[in-house]
Amino acid sequence: MARRFINQLGEHENVDQVFLVSDKQLRTNRNGNLYLQLRLTDRTGSMTAMLWNANDQLYASFDNGTYVRVQATTQFYNGALQMIAQRLERVDPSTIDETDFQTLADTDIDQLASRLTAMLRGVKHYHLRCLAECFLMDEQFLEKFLRAPAGIKNHHAYHGGLVEHVVSLMELTAAVAPLYPELDADLLLMGAFLHDVGKIHELTYDRELGYSDEGQLIGHLVIAVELLDQKIRESQSLCNEPFPEQLRLLLKHMILSHHGEYEFGSPKLPMTREAVALHFLDNLDAKLQLFNLLIQSDANTESNWTPYQPNLGRKLYKATASDSAAEEP
């Protein structure tokens, strides 16, 4: 039987296939009985699954990042499609076609890597181009940068999501900078490249997505500044001259202020033109990708609305202007 991906499932379907567990919780209902709440994923998205009458032994039999075969039926609950599992068992990963669980294919990653390289090598500012070259020459860095997600729950939360987000953001900066001649286009482009670079160490992404100890104790902003300092030292050797201190300061400020607001975890508010542009363009790319994902993955075709999205504080309207034919004048 051909595999049906999560975005192909509808209500009242019988499911018997393999998924990747991205999150598992053993909970107790109001009667004191244990049940499992799972987040199951494939390359098209994720879905909540419930298994009633669970036990500690079943919970301990698999981990996040494990492939499991699930026998279940689908149903809507609070407007969202979910699975009610009758049976669940661990699967040997050597029997799995892992491309079924990769949101971005290897060819997609290769194309993004080529575009990233072209944009960085197109930087005109001498010291910034030397800095960019130090990152591009670091094979270990690139391997991590091309595999890492941009997050674990919100936007671009999949392998390769970081480079996809960064390249998209760099494209945005290249489009916007000519409209505002006061902006330093090269500085803004490098800020887009560097802003989330710390996530290569903040997150874990061998199979399941999570946070490293370094990520939880320090966070990607500090990690990014440390990486920047390291690469600046290397660029001084490569270029055989000191890196301008003012330029170092401006790059660090863009990294540390790109979340934009204190309540969003930003230690500094954006105080330069390039920093404020980076913040809003970063937020634009992240929000639109998340909106697209939530709208496209919503299985309820009977409604123009998605379920309430707690992380956004709203429901999303799925209908578009093209869904209804324009009236003739």
Residue 108 has pLDDT above 70, yes or no: yes
pLDDT at 328: 47
**Pair 187, 174: CB distance under 8 Å:** no
Interval 113-127 mean pLDDT: 97
325: confidence class by pLDDT, cuts 50, 70, 90:
low
Q: How far apart are CA 9 and CA 19, in angstroms?
A: 13
Q: How is residue 198 written in tokens?
A: 């710390």
For the chain, first and last CA: distance in Å? 51
Domains of the chain, residue spans: 8-98, 103-291
| Mean pLDDT of all residues belonging to the chain | 91
239-249 residue pLDDT tens: 899 999 999 99
CB atoms within 10 A of CB 221: 22
Q: Residue 239: which region, alpha, beta or left (left: phi > 0; alpha: psi -120 to 50)?
A: alpha
Question: If DSSP states are collapsed to H, E and C, what string results for the chain?
Answer: CCCCCHHHCCCCCEEEEEEEEEEEEEEECCCCCEEEEEEEEECCEEEEEEECCCCHHHHHCCCCCCEEEEEEEEEEECCEEEEEEEEEEECCHHHCCHHHHCCCCHHHHHHHHHHHHHHHHCCCCHHHHHHHHHHHCCHHHHHHHHHCCCCCCCCCCCCCHHHHHHHHHHHHHHHHHHHCCCCCHHHHHHHHHHCCCCHHHHEECCCCCEECHHHHHCCHHHHHHHHHHHHHHHHHHHHCCCCCHHHHHHHHHHHHHCCCCHHHCCCCCCCCHHHHHHHHHHHHHHHHHHHHHHHHHCCCCCCCECCCECCCCECCECCCHHHCCCCCC
CB 71 within 8 A of CB 86: yes
Residue 324: the pLDDT is 60
pLDDT tens, position by position, 202-232:
999 887 788 999 999 999 999 999 999 999 9
pLDDT digits (tens, 9 = 90+) for 28-38: 998 899 999 99
Half-sphere exposure of residue 209, counting CA atoms within 13 Å on the CB side?
24
- Confidence check: pLDDT of 326 > 60: no
pTM above 0.85, yes or no: no
* CATH number belonging to domain 8-98: 2.40.50.140
